[in-house]
Structure formats: structure tokens, C-alpha cells
Chain A
Amino acid sequence: MIDGLDFTLREGEYVAIMGESGVGKSTLLNLLAGLDRPDSGRIRFDGVDIGALDDDATTLLRRRSMGFVFQAFHVLPYMTVAQNVSLPLELLGVSGKERQTRVEQMLAAVGIEGYGSRYPRELSGGETQRVAIARALVHRPRLVLADEPTGNLDPRTAQSILALLREAVHASGGAGILITHSQTAAATADRAFVLDGRALQPLPDGRG
């Protein structure tokens, strides 16, 4: 599906990748996250060839260095907001007290301070996506992958979530990739590209 792609993402960069349905945006995301293996070529993360890692190693890499934001939120309904956000820290073995502090800081950073004891069913779509963003960033990952994070939200909420994501990625010091087919969403990124199946073309607005 994707052939001959050559692309480098630098630390601190927040880029958007656009493309029509079926062009391979999700495949690209799977490859970057180590969920799929390329037939040929290499994907290096901090100099490590992701394709050469086994399943456990890529999982540990994701645990330490990546954060994900999904279109359908995917927060666990049976856990409170705080428990959802704290999950990556727990997997990393962060101690209880530090975990609590970082979760509270993160909730404040994404604008849902004081929502820690609520359950996802008590939140609006925008609030739930903020929980997902908090969970994606709480462990300070090197790379945040967001796949259509505003696809389920109204335009106004979507705008605030996109702004929040951009700020949060920049504040964490890591890099971020936003997959979207919305021009408006792409406009919030530092650089924007269009995936045409073989290569990433800079967006005609010249920011690519």
C-alpha cells in the first residue's frame, strides 16, 4: 500500500498527515507504532529498527515512548477518569504518590481538573477525548500518534481539542503525528503532508 516512503520526524515536531480514505494512513500509523511490519525498508525510532523488534519489545517501546489518541476515545468504561489516565504510569511502575501528582497535573493541563473520580459515562464526548489525551501524554512519551482524534466531535469542541493536543505535545517536548482528512485539523500542525500512496507530499499551502 505504501511504497518508497522516506520521511524523518524530528523531536518537538507536530505534523499532520492527510489523505483520502484507503490511501494507507492507518497502515502508516500501524507501521510507526510497531503494530505492523514493513515488507521492506526500515522504520527507526531513536535509531532503533522497530521492524527488527519482537512483539514484547515493540510493546515495551510503545509503553515507554508512545502515546495514542483514537477517534473512538477508547477509555475503559469501568475505570474512573483518574484510573484511565494513570494506566500508562502503572504499567511503567511509577510509584503511587508520583502517579497521583502527575495524573492531577495532567488532568489540569487538559482542562478537566477535578474530574478524576468520575466515570467516562458521566462525561461528554469532548471531555472523554480530553481524558484520552491526558492518558496519551501522562507518561511523557517521545511520540504521540493521534488518528482522527476529532472525528466524533462537533466543530467547536474539535477545535479546542486540536489546540489542546498541539499545546500538550509541544509542552511535553516530544513529537506528534496527527492523522486526519480535515484541512482545518491539519492547519493546527507545524507541518502538514498528503499521503498519496507512494510518498508524503507537502500540503499545497506550503507548510509541508
Chain B
Amino acid sequence: MNDFGPWRALWLSQLREQPGRLAVTALAVALGVALFSGVYMINTGALNEFGKATRQLVGQADVIIRGPSEGFRESVFVALARDADVKLASPALELAVALPRERESLQVLGVDPLRAVGIQPALLGELAGDFVNLFASDGIFLSVAAAADLKVRPGERFDVIVGQQTKSLQVLGLLSAAAYPQRIGIMDIASAQWTLDRLGIINRIDLRLASAANVDAIRARIAATLPPGVTALTPAIEQGRAASMSRAYRINLNMLALVSLLTGAFLVFATQALSVLRRRTSLSLLRALGVTRGQLQRGLLAEGLLLGVVGSALGVALGHVFAVGVLAAFRGELGTGTLQIHPLAYVAFFLIGTLVAALGAWVPAREAARRAPAHGLKSGDAETAITELRPAGLGLALLAAGAALAWLPPIGGVAVFGYGSIAALLFGAVLLVPAASAWLLARAPVSGRVPLDVGLAQLRGSVTQIAVSLAAIIVSFSLMVAMAIMVYSFRQSFEVWLSDQLPADVQVRAAQGSDTRFLSEADATQLSSLDGVASIELRRQSEIALTADQPTVALIARDLTPAGRDGVLALVTGGAGDGALDNAWISEAMQDLYGWRLGDRVEVPIGGTRHSISIVGVFRDYGRSTGAIVIPRERYIEITADRTATEAALWLTADANPNGTVAAIRAALPGGESLEVRTTTEIRELSLRAFDRAFLATYALEAVAVLIGLLGVAFAGASTALARRSEFGMLRHVGMLRQQIVTMLAGEGFLISALGVLYGLLLGAAMSLVLIYVVNRQSFSWSIDLAVPWMQLALLSIALLCAATVTNVISGRSALRADALRAVREDW
């Protein structure tokens, strides 16, 4: 017999009966695939662009020598250029240069063109006719993105801030967007050193080795000769280090997208399970007529596959559009805005979506094939037909596995087991829904009101069917609850941290992320003497490299009085220290990434030499996930003699007006308009707004998942109501009023959704603990204090309860309208 012959009629009848339900299921798969593939495409696209940019800058270098932003002496280059293993050495000065009017700083690369072309041959092409011009002392080549951002064209000039001075640079030409998609400028190294006040200083050397063999051995030998804080990397490490900074965010996004895909799979499962249940007589008839067990299973699986194929095809197309849109909207930040994905990736997404949908259809198909045809042909209790779908033992085992996985450490900085724990908890809890529902419903009190009690009896008798229809909504709602608790906890902790970080009234910052703008001693004196300023604290922040394979760590030198340390450092453990100059406080990331502990004595490179510090406290730092070390500024000055600062915190007198002081600071300091001067209140507001914006997309994705889950419940309700028409008819015959049946359905809807909400809240709370204490900690190396958004959860729960109740009533009303009274005679 042809495997699919008998299905055509069955499938078409299904399609005719419930086109909406099938469309929503396919749409759920499509959305899941779209988000999953879209997020992947954006990440891959951005990483490809980033990788291309890095490769362009690194060129054909075998080893890259990198130092802190303050740089190191050119003598290091001289020594390496003479090394027997080194064929070519190309020095570079790579700095983030401050721009006027608080604009984001510009990445400037100073190179020796004659040496650089040996490593970056593409550069020669880029500078084609203007090679000689590059030696102009104030000339710079800009990438298309940088020129567009600065609104300058070749021949025009723009200003940069160095120290307290404003300097002008002339645009010599443009670097092609294909070769340099990022926002960057390239100068001659001598011009860069002169313009940026770094005479005799470089911070990068690209090396080509004489032989491609033994690169690692040579790298290790060279690394041993380098000054403290200067590291030797391979291009692969360089790319990996940069990529690792955004890895946690990318993985989190991917996980979120995966969740949408899983919600789609649960919806396919629910659709297929209920559809198999509804058609159990027809399916058993097919078995009786000669369709084999295997044919039946394959046929039902094919139905799920068809949903998967339609959904996945739509999803891949939507994902492409989504990715193209996002990349175009964030052109510059995420590359050139073009999407280059291997065609096989599209095929892979299509197959993943189809496979996930097939997985959702597999369980109901297997159960239907296993059932003896005689049982299906006998009319009667539908519940017994799917009682096999109650694997409570497996559910409990998965919950136990989920709890155990949460205790395991990350792998390569990725919270693999944390995500595994969430998945196990989610699946385990979903498998336990029937058992839990049965337990809870058995304990629900009888009201004494006939409609409600009949509804309760109906629910008690159909827990597995309820569980099946609730699966998708429980998955999406619990994940939304988990995310809501996690984000709220994060926000609360972030607010407290902000208060600790901003104890003063006004903050003054040299241009954000800039290596060239700073506050001088004279600036500090000027600030202290302003009217209304009671006291001032200076900070000097720089980046230091501790190991070759980790991103740089922030070294923050602060004016700390022993009494004030507790209050301003957001300490998690430890304390103010004993006031000794070697006291240091580390962020939680230093514990996780470098294994440093309270009480340890470690060495760090400061100002080109190694210095011992004693760890007396650990603080929370939401600003940097790659690590930070705070030392007394006094010690920093002692080592480096550098009295400049990158930030100043100002405490005002009681009668001072913060906004007035901001204006006074800008007017008083040279180049004041290029400084970031804000009141603490303003910074708090801006920071919290940025925080909320960052999580807006998360909420939107989750809301879509819940909506799809709710639609799933609505269609399951409509399907059940249709199947119960003869029951409604019988109840009307024995004298139940139409309104009483509606009350019964409302009661059922309320109880079912209350079950879903209660279950989702508990499951979501459990998953939020894993998100907060495992995934976040392992991904970002910072801790979060648990805080529960009671009001938000209550409103969300009420909204869901109302929506599900109303949905059930509407489904029931429409079934009642469809001549329910006569439905009792459909069997006659």
C-alpha cells in the first residue's frame, strides 16, 4: 500500500476543519526558525566583518606584540627587528583618539607605510596614488564609515583632542569600505606619535617570521623577552580574544532564539497530539483496513514534517529579512551592513526547523501507532488514549539532572551546563504537568454549584489532554517569568551598583573610551576651586594585559581614603584594607577568570614594570565583564609619575546647584566642551534607560512566544470545545442553561490557566535561579542579588488568566452556537 495514499483525505479534512490552528502552528515554527536563523546570521555576519577587519589590520602577521594603551618604548621594536627568527617587523601605534563634543572616539592606527605594506599588502592598494602624502604630519586616511560619521570629505579637516589641546587633521583620502568596514583612520606612525603626544612610544608590533614553522615556540621565546604588560599573540588568539568579549552576549541571544524554536516544537507536539486524539477512530479504522504500524507512524510524522517544512521555509526567509534589516540598521557597528552567509547555512536552518517540528510530532505518532486498533475503534473516553503521554518518572529524573547540572563549572567561559540545567528543568517540568495537574485538581474543592463542579470533574478526567494543550504556554510563560525575575534582579542590583559607583554629585569624564584625552593636575585644581565644589576624587583608568589569551583588564587608580573605600567600591567580600599602598580591590571577574582570591598577593604590570598587590576586597562591576583592579592612585603616581586622570567625581556643597556646576566646569576647563560632564542623577537616568533598552528586545521576543503559546491554548480550546459538542448537547437536554454551560467553560478556562500560571510561575522561578546564579555568573562573571518583581508577575499572570478564560468561553460559545443541542444525535 502507498504510505501516503490514505493520508491525503485525512490531512485535507484536518486542514479544512482547523486551518487557523495549523497556520498558527506553522507560524510558531516559522517564528522560532526566523529568530534562531536571524540571530545566528547577525552574529555570524558581524563576526565575519569583525574578523575581516582584524585580518585586514593584522594582514599576514605571524605574531602580534601588544602593549597597554600607554604603550612601550620603541627599543622593543628595534630588538625584535634584529631577531634572527623575524623576517619583518612593523611597528604601530593604535589609539582611541578623543573627538570634540562628547563624540565616540576614533580608532587611529599609526603605521610605518614602508614596513606595513610588507604585512598588509592591501594597504598599498588603498593608498595607491597618495602614498607619499601619508607622510604629511597632520594627514590621515579615513575609512568610509569614519568619514561619514565625522561628515568630512578628502581635503577637509577635523579636530581631535589630545590632552587638553585640540589638534586638526586633514583627510588625505578614503579607505575602501570593503577592506576597512570599521570606523578607523590610518596615519604615518611618526605623524601619529607627534600629533598624539606619544613620541618614542608604540603599542603594537606586527611580526612576520622567517619560517612559518614553530610559530608557537618562537612566540613563547619572544614573549619571555618582552616588558611586563606586553604580550605576544597569534592572529588567531587576537581574533579569539576580541570575539570572546561578546561571546556571552551572543550565546545568550542564541539561547533565547533557541527557546522560541522549542516553543514552536511544543506547539507542534500539542497540535499533533490533540489531532491524533480527535482522529483516533479514523486512524484505528485505517489500521483495521490494513495500514501497518510503521505506515501509520510515518504518515503522522509526515504531517508534523509538513508543518515543519512550511514553517521552516517561511522562517528562513523571515530570518534572512530580519538579519538584513538589523545589519543595515546598525551599519558601522556591525560591519558594512551586507550579509554574507554560506547557502548551506540556510539549508541547515531549514533542516533544523523541520527536524524540531518532526520531533514534536514523533511522540504522538509513536503513541498512535502503538495503540491497538480495537481500542481506537471503541468510542468513549479519550483520556485513556493518551495516558501513555504521562512519563512522570522521566520528568523527575530530568528535574534531578537539571538541579545537578547547575552546580557544574563553565566550559571555556560558556555556561554550557547552566543552559543544560534550564533545558532539563523545562523538559522535566513539562513532563510532570499531567501528574502535577492531577494532584492539584484532585485537591480542588467542590463548590456546590453544578456548572463549576461538572467543569471540575471534566478537568479531573482529562488531565493529560489539558497538559498537552498547556505545554506550549507553560514553556513560553515560564521562560518569560524566568527572564522577568532575572532582568528585574539585574536591574535592582544595577541600580544599587550605580549608586555605589556614583556617590558624588557630578561626574567629569574624559571622552569615553579615549586614550588621548585626560584631566591634568591643573584641571583638577581648577575643579576643586570652583564655587560649590566641596571635594573631589580623581581616577585614572588604563588597560593592562595579564595573559595573552584573555582580553585586557581595567586598572583603575583611585583617590581612596580608607574610610571611604567601603562606601564607594560595592564590595562583595573583603573590606577597606589596612591603608597600605599595596592594597588592591578586584572585580568578581578577576576571581572567575584568573582565580585570584581575597588575601592573595599577585603581581600586575603597571607602567612597564611588575608590582606586587595585596587583594583586600572583591567588588561587583557591571561595567566590565573582562575584569578590573582598583589600586590607590597614590601608588599609581609613585610607580608611573603620571598625575593625569581620566575621571573626576565632585561632591558639592549643600547650597550648590549641580546643573549650574556642570556649566561652570565646561566653561572653566580648556576644551571643556569635549568632556563628558554630567550630574549623577543624569548618569543614573541615562544608564537605566540604556539598560531597559537593552532588554526591550528580550521582552518583545518573550511576549511573542507567550502570544503564540496563548494562541495554541486558544486553538486547543476550540478543538476541545468542538469535540465536546455532544456533551454540551446532553447537558442542555438534562436542563443545563446556556449560561450555566458558559459558566462551566469559564470555570474550566480559569482553572486550566490558573494551573498553567501557577506552574509557569514556579518553573520560571526555578529557572530564574539558574539564570541568576549560574548562567549570568558564568557568562559575565558578575553576581546579581535575587529580587522578585511581584507586581509585574501578578499583572502578567492576571492578563494570562483573563486571556485564557475569555478564549475558552469564546470557543465554547461558538461550539454552543453550532447547534450543540442536536450534536447528541450526530451518532444516531
Interface of B (DSSP majority class): helix
Closest to B462 in A: A78
CA distance A105 to B545 in the complex (A): 90
- Asked whether, in the complex, the Cβ of B824 is within 8 Å of the Cβ of A88, the reply is no
Chain A residues lying within 8 Å of B381, measured Cβ to Cβ, are 77-78, 119-121
Contact mask A26-47 → B, CB, 8 Å, 1/0? 1000100101000000000000
The size class of the interface chain A forms with chain B is 20 to 34
- Asked whether, in the complex, the Cβ of A72 is within 8 Å of the Cβ of B738, the reply is no
Q: CB of B401 within 8 A of chain A?
A: no
Shortest beta-carbon distance from B434 to chain A in Å: 15
CA distance A70 to B384 in the complex (A): 23
CA distance A120 to B738 in the complex (A): 25
Q: CB of B733 within 8 A of chain A?
A: yes
The answer, among A35, A71, A88, A121, for a CB contact under 8 Å with B735, is: A88
Chain B residues lying within 8 Å of A135, measured Cβ to Cβ, are 734
CA distance A164 to B668 in the complex (A): 107
- Asked whether, in the complex, the Cβ of A90 is within 8 Å of the Cβ of B380, the reply is no
Within 8 A of A (CB), among B724-767: 726-727, 729-730, 732-739
Chain-B contact segment, one of A4-12, A56-64, A188-196: A56-64
- Asked whether, in the complex, the Cβ of A78 is within 8 Å of the Cβ of B738, the reply is no
- Asked whether, in the complex, the Cβ of A87 is within 8 Å of the Cβ of B824, the reply is no
Residue picked from A62, A66, A76, most chain B C-beta under 10 Å:
A76
The size class of the interface chain B forms with chain A is 20 to 34
Residue picked from B384, B462, B735, B828, most chain A C-beta under 10 Å:
B735
Q: CB of B673 within 8 A of chain A?
A: no
Contact mask A88-132 → B, CB, 8 Å, 1/0? 101110000000000000000000000000011100000000000
Given contacts A56-B737, A59-B735, A62-B735, contact A77 B454 (CB under 8 A): no
Q: CB of B821 within 8 A of chain A?
A: yes
CA distance A35 to B383 in the complex (A): 30
Q: CB of A13 within 8 A of chain B?
A: no
Within 8 A of A (CB), among B367-403: 379-384
- Asked whether, in the complex, the Cβ of A71 is within 8 Å of the Cβ of B457, the reply is no
Contact mask B449-489 → A, CB, 8 Å, 1/0? 01001100110111000000000000000000000000000
- Asked whether, in the complex, the Cβ of B824 is within 8 Å of the Cβ of A72, the reply is yes
Shortest beta-carbon distance from B284 to chain A in Å: 16
Chain B residues lying within 8 Å of A120, measured Cβ to Cβ, are 380-381
Contact mask A148-160 → B, CB, 8 Å, 1/0? 1001000000000
- Asked whether, in the complex, the Cβ of A26 is within 8 Å of the Cβ of B733, the reply is no
Shortest beta-carbon distance from B106 to chain A in Å: 72
- Asked whether, in the complex, the Cβ of B827 is within 8 Å of the Cβ of A59, the reply is no
CA distance A193 to B454 in the complex (A): 38
The answer, among A33, A62, A79, A151, for a CB contact under 8 Å with B457, is: A79
The answer, among A74, A78, A119, for a CB contact under 8 Å with B824, is: A74
Given contacts A72-B379, A78-B461, A119-B381, contact A148 B828 (CB under 8 A): yes
Chain A residues lying within 8 Å of B733, measured Cβ to Cβ, are 33, 35, 62, 68
Q: CB of B825 within 8 A of chain A?
A: yes
Chain A residues lying within 8 Å of B461, measured Cβ to Cβ, are 77-79
- Asked whether, in the complex, the Cβ of B825 is within 8 Å of the Cβ of A78, the reply is no
- Asked whether, in the complex, the Cβ of B379 is within 8 Å of the Cβ of A60, the reply is no
- Asked whether, in the complex, the Cβ of B734 is within 8 Å of the Cβ of A88, the reply is yes
- Asked whether, in the complex, the Cβ of A91 is within 8 Å of the Cβ of B734, the reply is yes
- Asked whether, in the complex, the Cβ of A74 is within 8 Å of the Cβ of B730, the reply is yes
CA distance A135 to B380 in the complex (A): 18
Shortest beta-carbon distance from B743 to chain A in Å: 13
- Asked whether, in the complex, the Cβ of A147 is within 8 Å of the Cβ of B737, the reply is no
Q: CB of B87 within 8 A of chain A?
A: no
- Asked whether, in the complex, the Cβ of A72 is within 8 Å of the Cβ of B828, the reply is yes
- Asked whether, in the complex, the Cβ of A76 is within 8 Å of the Cβ of B457, the reply is yes
Q: CB of B167 within 8 A of chain A?
A: no
Chain B residues lying within 8 Å of A26, measured Cβ to Cβ, are 825, 828
Q: CB of B115 within 8 A of chain A?
A: no
Chain B residues lying within 8 Å of A55, measured Cβ to Cβ, are 738
CA distance A78 to B726 in the complex (A): 14
Q: CB of B279 within 8 A of chain A?
A: no
Chain A residues lying within 8 Å of B221, measured Cβ to Cβ, are none
Shortest beta-carbon distance from B659 to chain A in Å: 69
CA distance A91 to B450 in the complex (A): 6
Q: CB of B103 within 8 A of chain A?
A: no
- Asked whether, in the complex, the Cβ of B821 is within 8 Å of the Cβ of A71, the reply is no
Chain B residues lying within 8 Å of A33, measured Cβ to Cβ, are 733
CA distance A77 to B726 in the complex (A): 12
- Asked whether, in the complex, the Cβ of B727 is within 8 Å of the Cβ of A76, the reply is yes
Since A56-B739, A60-B737, A63-B735 are in contact, a sample of 19 more A-B pairs with Cβ atoms closer than 8 Å, ordered by chain A residue number, is A26-B828, A56-B737, A59-B737, A68-B734, A70-B828, A72-B379, A72-B828, A74-B730, A76-B454, A77-B383, A83-B457, A87-B734, A90-B450, A91-B450, A92-B735, A119-B381, A120-B381, A121-B384, A135-B734
B-to-A contact residues, CB < 8 Å: 379-384, 450, 453-454, 457-458, 460-462, 726-727, 729-730, 732-739, 821-822, 824-825, 827-828
The 5 closest A-B pairs by CB, nearest first: A63-B735, A78-B461, A72-B827, A77-B381, A74-B730
A-B contact pairs, 30 of them (CB 8 A): A26-B825, A33-B733, A35-B733, A55-B738, A60-B737, A62-B733, A62-B734, A62-B735, A64-B735, A66-B735, A70-B730, A70-B825, A71-B827, A72-B379, A72-B824, A72-B828, A74-B726, A74-B727, A74-B824, A76-B458, A76-B730, A78-B383, A78-B458, A78-B462, A79-B461, A87-B454, A90-B450, A91-B735, A92-B735, A120-B380
